[in-house]
């Protein structure tokens, strides 16, 4: 039994308590503790995917909700994301070993003229956590870069991010180019970024506006299912 | 019968208070009241439209017939404009204060040429510690510096006044962020003309339809002060404090249960 004032020993917790503790540690941005908790669950025979979804993704979902509600602020979210990244770094190779196919593929990037990638990185991480393969093009991506990546990787989803009022119109340039080339309907186009909203997404011809990373995941899954059903019905 | 001179207000971001105050003082007229919203909203632009909405309603209730809004879009993605449209009020043009200080067209051209630029005005230089360092949590978590600023290459200080101390503070800010420092004295830029129009409107009682409120006020009111003193309003309510407390209490209960089970003696996080 631990003594007063000693560090909490994660190994003393049962599975349920440990998962909750990992979620708490993730909430508090404690990367080392999250990594330790992930390793313990794996040692106890948990499947990597279960650790990912029940401990990390669920923990990050709570962070997202509290951010949306104004309880957490950007620094706390970034620390939590960093902690999750630590856990995912352990799980990623193990997940790859299982050979489970990704549930979908996404190409994502911050649009031309914009170098902000915090939101885009969060979306990429959460999408990966949800089982998507994510090809991250980085920042300041022009239409040619997006098109080349779509051609090369053949994703189902194209994600575009912008933080600036001055750069968000570039999303329309990309979508218009897809239309011109007759490939717009080949992709689910998701857009996000602080100054965007649903009306803007609709106006530029995107499929959806995602106000945060958790919404991006849910929207991606829902639109993938819808697309799948449509294709099945048409087959 | 001569109609009394209508009163004029400028509703501004607190980050512009000093500069607008100086411009109003230069005009020597006391027919324009300056009302400011908290500058900290710079870090939470999604909250600006609601705050401006409330303040416009307040000003209208107080009888101001003409209201100038000294906010750029400020990252609201057009939401602020929708609020202003509802009130029949217009704002100074531009995406950010950096843009109207620099000159909107020149700013946009430069931003396109070199997007990896972090801009500071005199206000942001003065309040760098509170708005940037503490506001972004960099005092507590310096490890986040590359997350926030890793993609930037230079800091451009667009100066409103020629002040050696501010120049030095800007240099130190750039050093803190690990960015190349550039200093440019741009003065008040397009803000000067904007304030001048408000003052002129106050003086001659005419409406500049490019910029002014189209609504009819509840009555005329002699102008307030133009001494540049911002009328800071309370920050937006933090109604979610109880949620945070609830979560902490929940966590404490869970850890208390653990302590009761005798499996731990310490509480982390």
* Interval B51-98: pLDDT, tens: 999 999 999 999 998 999 999 999 998 999 999 999 999 899 999 999
Are the C-beta atoms of residues A81 and A122 closer than 8 Å to each other?
A: yes
Identify all chain B residues contacting A198, using CB atoms and an 8 Å cutoff: none
Beta strands B8-13 and B180-185, pairing class: unpaired
Tell me which of B71 and B42 has the higher pLDDT: B71
Task: Give every CB contact of residue A131 below 8 A, 6+ residues apart in sequence.
Answer: A49, A100, A102, A103, A104
Task: Give every CB contact of residue A230 below 8 A, 6+ residues apart in sequence.
Answer: none
Query: SS3 letters for A167-223?
Result: CCCHHHHHHHHHHHCCCHHHCEEEEECCCCCHHHHHHHCCCEECCCHHHHHHHHHHH
B19 three-class SS: helix
Tell me which H or E stretch contains B61.
helix B48-61
Q: Interhelix angle for B241-260 vs A15-27, to 10°?
A: 150
pTM: 0.79
pLDDT for B237 equals: 32
Question: Are B78 and A117 in contact (CB < 8 Å)?
Answer: no
**Whether residue B259 has pLDDT greater than 80:** no
DSSP string, A14-28: -HHHHHHHHHHHHHT
- In percent, how much of chain B has pLDDT > 90? 62
- Could you say which of A20, A33, A194 has the minimum Cβ distance to residue B254? A20
pLDDT for A67 equals: 87
Q: Which residue has the tokens 């600036």?
A: A164
- Could you say which of B78, B251, B264 has the minimum Cβ distance to residue A2? B264
Burial B141-155 (b: 16+ CB within 10 A, else e): beebeebbbebbeeb
pLDDT for B59 equals: 94
Tell me which of A115 and B258 has the higher pLDDT: A115
Give the pLDDT means over successive 10-residue stretches in chain A (235 positions).
64 96 96 97 95 93 88 91 95 86 93 95 92 96 98 98 94 98 97 93 97 92 90 73
Are the C-beta atoms of residues A67 and A215 closer than 8 Å to each other?
A: no
* Interval B198-233: pLDDT, tens: 888 876 655 444 433 233 222 222 222 223 333 332
Which token pair is B175? 């050093």
The helix, strand and coil proportions of chain B, stated in percent and rounded to the nearest 5, come to 50, 15, 40
Q: Residue A129 to residues A36, A50, A59, A114, A189: CA-CA distances in angstroms?
A: 18, 11, 11, 25, 20
Tell me which of B30 and B144 has the higher pLDDT: B144
pLDDT for B30 equals: 62
Task: Give every CB contact of residue A41 below 8 A, 6+ residues apart in sequence.
Answer: A15, A18, A19, A22, A50, A51, A55
Question: Are B251 and A24 in contact (CB < 8 Å)?
Answer: yes
Task: Give the number of C-alpha atoms closer than 13 A to the C-alpha of residue B219, restricted to the C-beta side.
Answer: 4
Task: Give every CB contact of residue A136 below 8 A, 6+ residues apart in sequence.
Answer: A108, A109, A120, A121, A124
Are the C-beta atoms of residues B241 and B24 closer than 8 Å to each other?
A: no
Tell me which of B242 and A108 has the higher pLDDT: A108
ipTM: 0.84
Are the C-beta atoms of residues B37 and B233 closer than 8 Å to each other?
A: yes
Domain topology for B8-98+189-240: Rossmann fold (3.40.50)
Quickly state the pLDDT bin for B251 (edges 50, 70, 90). low
**Whether residue B6 has pLDDT greater than 80:** no
Nearest C-alpha of chain B: how many angstroms from A47? 26
Task: Give every CB contact of residue B172 below 8 A, 6+ residues apart in sequence.
Answer: none
Which token pair is B5? 């001179």
Nearest C-alpha of chain B: how many angstroms from A220? 23
DSSP string, A106-142: EEEEEBTT----HHHHHHHHHHHHTTEEEEE--SSB-
Burial of B108 per CB tally in 10 Å (0-12, 13-18, 19+):
middle
Identify all chain A residues contacting B143, using CB atoms and an 8 Å cutoff: 82
Domain-by-domain residue ranges, chain B?
A: 8-98+189-240
Q: In whole angstroms, what is the distance from residue A217 CA to residue A214 CA?
A: 5
Q: Which residues of B touch A (CB under 8 A)?
A: 45-46, 73, 75-79, 95, 108, 111-112, 115-116, 136-138, 140-141, 143-144, 147-148, 151-152, 238, 240, 243-244, 247, 251, 254, 258, 262-269
**Whether residue B265 has pLDDT greater than 70:** no
């Amino acid at each position: 039994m631990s003594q007063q004032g000693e560090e909490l020993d994660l190994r003393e917790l049962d599975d349920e308590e440990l998962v909750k503790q990992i979620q708490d540690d993730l909430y508090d941005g404690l990367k080392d503790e999250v990594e330790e908790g992930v390793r313990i669950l794996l040692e106890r025979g948990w499947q990597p995917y279960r650790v990912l979804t029940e401990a990390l993704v669920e923990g990050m979902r709570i962070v997202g909700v509290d951010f949306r509600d104004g309880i957490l602020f950007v620094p706390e979210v970034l620390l939590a994301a960093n902690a999750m990244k630590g856990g995912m770094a352990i799980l990623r190779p193990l997940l790859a070993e299982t050979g489970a196919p990704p549930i979908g593929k996404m190409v994502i990037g911050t649009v031309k003229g914009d170098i902000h990638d915090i939101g885009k990185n969060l979306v990429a991480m959460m999408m990966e956590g949800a089982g998507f393969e994510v090809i991250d093009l980085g920042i300041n991506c022009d239409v040619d870069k997006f098109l080349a990546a779509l051609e090369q990787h053949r994703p189902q989803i194209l994600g575009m991010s912008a933080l600036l009022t001055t750069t968000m119109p570039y999303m329309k340039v990309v979508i218009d180019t897809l239309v011109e080339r007759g490939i717009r309907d080949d992709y689910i186009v998701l857009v996000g970024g602080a100054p965007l909203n649903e009306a803007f997404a609709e106006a530029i011809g995107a499929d959806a506006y995602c106000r945060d990373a958790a919404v991006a995941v849910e929207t991606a899954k829902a639109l993938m299912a819808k697309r799948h059903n449509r294709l099945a019905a048409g087959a | 019968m001569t109609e009394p001179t209508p009163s004029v207000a400028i509703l501004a971001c607190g980050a512009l208070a000093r500069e607008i105050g100086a411009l109003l003082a230069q005009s020597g007229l006391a027919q324009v009241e300056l009302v400011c919203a908290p500058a900290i909203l710079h870090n939470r632009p999604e909250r600006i439209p609601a705050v401006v909405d409330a303040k416009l309603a307040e000003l209208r209730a107080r009888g101001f017939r003409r209201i100038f809004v000294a906010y750029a879009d400020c990252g609201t993605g057009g939401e602020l404009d929708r609020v202003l449209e509802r009130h029949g009020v217009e704002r100074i043009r531009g995406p950010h204060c950096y843009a109207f200080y620099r000159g909107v067209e020149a700013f946009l051209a430069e931003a396109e040429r070199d997007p990896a630029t972090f801009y500071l005005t005199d206000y942001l230089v003065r309040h760098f510690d509170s708005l940037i360092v503490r506001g972004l949590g960099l005092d507590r978590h310096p490890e986040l510096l590359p997350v926030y600023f890793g993609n930037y290459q230079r800091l451009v200080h667009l100066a409103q006044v020629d002040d050696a101390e501010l120049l030095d503070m800007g240099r130190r800010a750039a050093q803190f962020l690990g960015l190349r420092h550039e200093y440019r004295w741009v003065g008040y830029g397009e803000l000067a003309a904007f304030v001048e129009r408000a003052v002129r409107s106050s003086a001659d009682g005419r409406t500049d339809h490019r910029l002014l409120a189209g609504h009819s006020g509840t009555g005329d009111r002699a102008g307030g002060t133009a001494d540049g003193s911002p009328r800071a309003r309370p920050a937006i309510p933090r109604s979610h404090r109880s949620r945070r407390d609830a979560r902490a209490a929940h966590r404490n209960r869970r850890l208390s249960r653990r302590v009761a089970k005798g499996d731990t003696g310490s509480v982390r996080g």
